[in-house]
Structure 1
Amino acid sequence: MPSNPKSIHSQSRSYELTPSGDRYFDGLAEKFSRSLYQAPRGELRLAMLDYLLPEMLNLEWQCVLDVGGGLGQQAAWFAERGHRVTMTEPSADMLSYAKNWHRNVKTLPEEAITYLQAPLQRLTEQAPGPWSLITCHAVLEWLGDPQAALATLSDLLAPGGQLSLMVFNRDALRFSNAVKGNLEKALSDRLAGKGKRQRLTPISPVSHAEIEQWSADNGLVIDAVAGIRVFQDFLRHPPATPAEIETLLALEKKYCRHDPHWRLGRYLLYTLTKPEIVE
């Protein structure tokens, strides 16, 4: 990843949601990189995706549509494994960051990634496909209408295609608030962020029950589900040595797909498929 100088943006800066009620991240690329991907929680998230995606997807060097690709980690992961990737991202800052980083990644095949600055809602016009493999990781929770977003993703998916969907887990957020002593907040279910400042609490955290219902409404089948960061966020004493970090990763890998543990993952990772059309 590129170097990350201290952000010049003041903590008091105000950010506005889009007319659709979505949260974009112009001006926050450096904060994302520093806070999410150069910290233990981000490192664990990427390590778990590296472990889970080959298990949960049928990867056959497809063309991949990476929706809301952010800083470009997922696009790079697929491109390094031989896939042709179209990475979409509504934030000009995030897309620029990803392009600059990708240029310096020696393991990326030349021209393996195509970039498109566009919100999810416009992709049926600008990247209609249909696509045999779509990834949409940590996007729905930043949208004003995540239910409609899943319907759009279903429209983009080819019959027999796979959607790798990762969402911020509302149930885990409630549990985390209770553990921290925010009992009234947890009881009243006041969990969503406002999206007005630099804090990164999602504006639309999603529950597993909602994903089940929305998938069924759009004719999608849940083939697999896993929890990401099941244990890490609840540790009283974070791992302090490389050995402890490896032990935590092993623990996360062992139980990420076991009920009831996966249900409290900070993120829920799904493989959704669209059934083949039967003549």
Structure 2
Amino acid sequence: MQDKNFDKLAGKFAKNIYGTLKGDIRAAVLWRDLQEVLPTDGRSLRVLDAGGGFGFFSQKLAALGHSVVLCDLSAEMLAEAQRQIDANPMKLDIQCVHSAIQDLSRDDLGEFDLILCHAVVEWLADAHGTMTGLLKLLKRDGLFSLMFYNQDAMCFHSLVAGNFGYVNSGFKAKRVKLSPNFPLTVPEVEAWCDGWQMDILCRSGVRVIHDYLKKGSLSTEYSDEGLIEMELKYSREDAFLRLGRYVHFIARRKD
């Protein structure tokens, strides 16, 4: 099975992932996590946003003064990124690179203080091998921000919806186009980090509540703003974290 290219789905992807409350939750959790590890002394980082689409976080980091290389396999995604960069009133230090992650080279791009790889690994046929290669571009004391699609949450969501046949089939039923091919578990990615000799500094669930809401019978106390507040509050509680549709790790190589 080949890795996913979002060229033909760029518009749908942008609308379904970033133009919704789901996207607002993702942005809130990941940006909270990243801000906690960014330098506070004004130092500029070299950042690689691998598989970053149209560069939501690339643009936010560049607006803080960091130098960013934005890479994606989709030319359509990068074209949209460039349009947004050009339209920004600030001059953003972002270099767009049209490339598969597997083809990125330290000889060509150098090393980075921070590498982002968000919602990419679940589309890769050889996720572990690809991430191992990507980490060759990370400085010895650099940070790795990895968000992955959580298989346990996918299973639980199917169970509470009564899709027992789908679960019993090992999730082999027909998938929709934006349903990832290779979901991962928290222990699996923790083992990867251990093998890479990396300490996990941050663990957060993304959408630990949203996907389980009883949408037809919400309390009058409900609001989207309140939901995001609760998502941030419970995203790091272990019981809730492991129900997050995605899980976000920030890791650093061990001394």
Structure 1-normalised TM-score?
0.83
Cα distance change on mapping 1:55 and 1:172 into 2, 3 Å: same
What amino acid sits opposite 2:210 in the alignment? Answer: Q
Offset of 1:187 from its aligned partner? 3.1
CA distance in 1, matches of 2:71, 2:223: 37
Q: C-alpha offsets along residues 131-173 of structure 1, whole Å, 9 cap, x if unaligned?
A: 1111111111111111112211221211111001111111111
**For 1:32-111, what aligned pairs fall within 5 Å after superposition?**
32-58=13-39, 60-106=43-89, 108-110=90-92
SS in 1 for 2:110: coil
Shift of 1:128: 4.7
Gaps of 5+ in 1: 1-16
Displacement after TM superposition at 1:274 (Å): 1.4
Change (3 A) 1:173 1:192: farther
Q: Tell me whether 176-185 or 161-170 shows the greater mean CA deviation.
A: 176-185
Task: Give the 3 Å change call, closer, same or farther, for CA 163–258 of structure 1 in structure 2.
Answer: same
TM alignment of 1:112-261, pairs within 5 A: 112-124=93-105, 127-190=108-171, 199-237=177-215, 244-261=223-240
Contact 2:28 2:232 in 1 (8 A): no
Q: Which consecutive aligned stretches of 4+ in structure 1 deviate over 3 angstroms post-superposition?
A: 56-60, 125-128, 191-194, 238-243
Distance 2:226 2:108 in 1: 42
d(CA) in 2 for partners of 1:258, 1:192: 32
1:211 deviates by 0.5
After superposing the two structures, state which structure 1 stretch, 168-177 or 40-49, moved more. Answer: 40-49
Q: Matched residues in 1 for 2:161 and 2:245: separation?
A: 15
Separation (CA, whole Å) in 1 of partners of 2:164 and 2:30: 32
**Matching residue within 231, 245, 263 for 2:242:** 263
Q: Secondary structure at the match of 2:104?
A: helix
What value does the CA root-mean-square deviation take over the aligned residues?
2.3
How far apart in 2 are the matches of 1:241 and 1:129? 53
Aligned residues: 252
8 Å contact kept, 2:145–2:248: yes
Q: 1:160-189 deviations in whole A, cap 9, x for unaligned?
A: 110011111111111111122111222333
8 Å CA contact 2:29, 2:204 repeated in 1: no
Separation in structure 2 between the aligned mates of residue 169 and residue 122 of structure 1, nearest angstrom: 26
Contact 2:49 2:55 in 1 (8 A): no
Q: What SS class does the counterpart of residue 109 from structure 1 fall into?
A: coil
Change (3 A) 1:99 1:258: same
Instruction: Write the letter of the residue equivalent to 1:212.
Output: E
The structure carrying a bigger helix percent of its residues is 2
Q: Conserved in 2, the CA contact under 8 Å of 1:57 and 1:271?
A: no
Question: CA 1:231–1:147 in structure 2 vs 1: closer, same or farther (change >3 Å)?
Answer: same
Measured after TM superposition, the shift of residue 212 of structure 1 is: 1.2
Contact 1:29 1:93 in 2 (8 A): yes
Contact 2:106 2:137 in 1 (8 A): no
SS of 1:264's partner is coil
Judged with a 3 Å threshold, the aligned counterparts in structure 2 of structure 1 residues 99 and 58 are, in CA distance, closer, same or farther, namely same
Instruction: Give, as a single letter, the amino acid of the residue that structure 2 aligns with 1:105.
Output: N
Q: TM-score, normalised by structure 2?
A: 0.91
Q: Counterpart amino acid of 1:114?
A: Q
Contact 1:75–1:87 (8 Å) recurs in 2 = yes
**Aligned residue runs from structure 1 range 8-27, under 5 A:** 21-27=2-8
Judging changes above 3 Å, is the alpha-carbon distance between structure 1 residues 40 and 274 closer, same or farther for their aligned structure 2 residues? same
